[in-house]
């Protein structure tokens, strides 16, 4: 995993990593959500971001996606520090999906496409891609959890971005949906694009991710290629429980 880069290399320009997070902190008033978070994400790989409830995964993914601002530190996307990520560079799905419950999925996606300057035909493409064609005219408020996940994914995929950031994307998906998502994400990575996802389903994620980042109590406690973890005879769950103090669970 192309992890720590020197400050000089980063200052000199693009390090080759799709995402570099350096010394990121996020405070809510006096409460510290994450502190001194640094890691990087390889281009063309699937990176899994793991941690117990409240560890800081969503907070970091929001800042990485430009949906929230950090209190300190910086995030480089393709070597550039910018708060407004353009849709073709990075697409994110972090709940809530932002669709008005009274709106049809197709109308929601159409507005997003218009705002991003994308052709209307792309809406039908992503609806087909996520398997929501038949339900595209239904109100989002009547969607199941899995259908909302698929809609969120459709929105993230609209501009066919180089980098996909997904917060617990398998939540609510049925087994067919999980397999479909695994294939979709693997194909994207194999074609040189980048995926970052968080998940609590460690057994599931073990089959999918190339690189592992573990966050605990707002700080990064581990980063390694999945292959190295497996070679060491450990499972992702072993590593996770050891690092997050849950080995007695």
Task: Kindly state whether residue 30 participates in binding ligand ATP, applying the rule CB under 6 A.
Answer: no
33 binds ligand ATP (CB under 6 A): yes
**By CB under 6 A, is residue 59 in contact with ligand ATP?**
yes
Q: Which of the stretches 9-17, 50-58, 82-90, 141-149 binds ligand ATP when contact is defined by CB under 6 A? A: 50-58
Q: Cβ 45 to ligand ATP, closest distance in Å?
A: 21
Query: How many other CB atoms are there within 10 angstroms of residue 142's CB atom?
Result: 11
Find the shortest distance in angstroms from Cβ 126 to ligand ATP: 25
- If the CB atoms of residues 20 and 59 are measured against ligand ATP, the closer one turns out to be 59
Contact 85, 63 (CB under 8 A): no
Q: Which lies closer to ligand ATP via its Cβ, residue 55 or residue 195?
A: 55
Does position 58 interact with ligand ATP (CB under 6 A)? The reply is yes
For residue 175, give the H/E element and its range: helix 175-190
Among 13, 23, 54, 227, binds ligand ATP (CB under 6 A): 54
- Does residue number 220 form part of the binding site for ligand ATP (CB under 6 A)? no
- CB neighbour class for 61 (10 Å; exposed up to 12, middle 13-18, buried from 19): buried
- Is 6 a binding residue for ligand ATP by CB under 6 A? The answer is no
Nearer to ligand ATP, 31 or 134 (CB): 31
CB atoms within 10 A of CB 162: 18
Q: Can you tell me the distance from the alpha carbon of 182 to that of 62, in angstroms, rounded to the nearest whole number?
A: 22
Orientation of helix 105-115 relative to helix 121-129, angle to 10°: 130
**Considering the rule CB under 6 A, would residue 57 count as an interface residue with ligand ATP?**
yes
Distance CA 90, CA 119 (A): 18
82's enclosing H/E stretch is: none
Binding mask 176-215 for ligand ATP (x = CB under 6 A): ----------------------------------------
> What are the distances in angstroms from CA 24 to CA 75, 151, 162, 197?
8, 30, 23, 18
163, 19 Cβ separation under 8 angstroms: yes
Q: Which stretch binds ligand ATP (CB under 6 A): 11-19, 26-34, 79-87, 229-237?
A: 26-34
Q: Does 31 bind ligand ATP (CB under 6 A)?
A: yes
Q: Can you give the binding site for ligand ATP, defined by CB under 6 A? A: 28, 31, 33, 51, 53-59
């Amino acid at each position: 995993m192309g992890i720590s880069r020197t400050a000089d290399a980063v200052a000199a320009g693009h390090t080759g990593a799709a995402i570099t997070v350096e010394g990121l902190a996020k405070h809510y008033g006096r409460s510290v959500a994450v502190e001194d978070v640094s890691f990087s994400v390889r281009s063309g790989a699937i990176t899994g971001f793991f941690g117990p409830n409240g560890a800081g995964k969503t907070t970091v993914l929001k800042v990485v996606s430009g949906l929230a601002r950090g209190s300190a530190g910086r995030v480089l996307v393709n070597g550039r520090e910018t708060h407004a990520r353009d849709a073709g560079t990075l697409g994110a799905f972090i709940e809530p999906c932002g669709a008005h419950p009274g709106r049809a999925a197709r109308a929601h996606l159409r507005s997003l496409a218009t705002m991003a300057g994308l052709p209307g035909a792309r809406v039908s493409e992503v609806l087909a891609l996520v398997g929501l064609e038949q339900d595209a005219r239904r109100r989002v408020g009547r969607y199941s959890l899995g259908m909302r996940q698929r809609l969120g994914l459709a929105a993230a995929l609209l501009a066919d971005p180089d980098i996909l950031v997904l917060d617990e994307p398998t939540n609510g998906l049925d087994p067919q949906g999980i397999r479909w998502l695994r294939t979709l994400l693997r194909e994207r990575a194999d074609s040189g694009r980048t995926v970052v996802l968080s998940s609590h389903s460690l057994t599931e994620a073990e089959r999918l991710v190339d690189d592992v980042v573990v966050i605990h109590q707002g700080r990064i406690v581990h980063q390694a290629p999945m292959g190295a973890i497996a070679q060491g005879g450990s499972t992702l769950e072993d590593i996770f429980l050891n690092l997050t103090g849950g080995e007695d669970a």
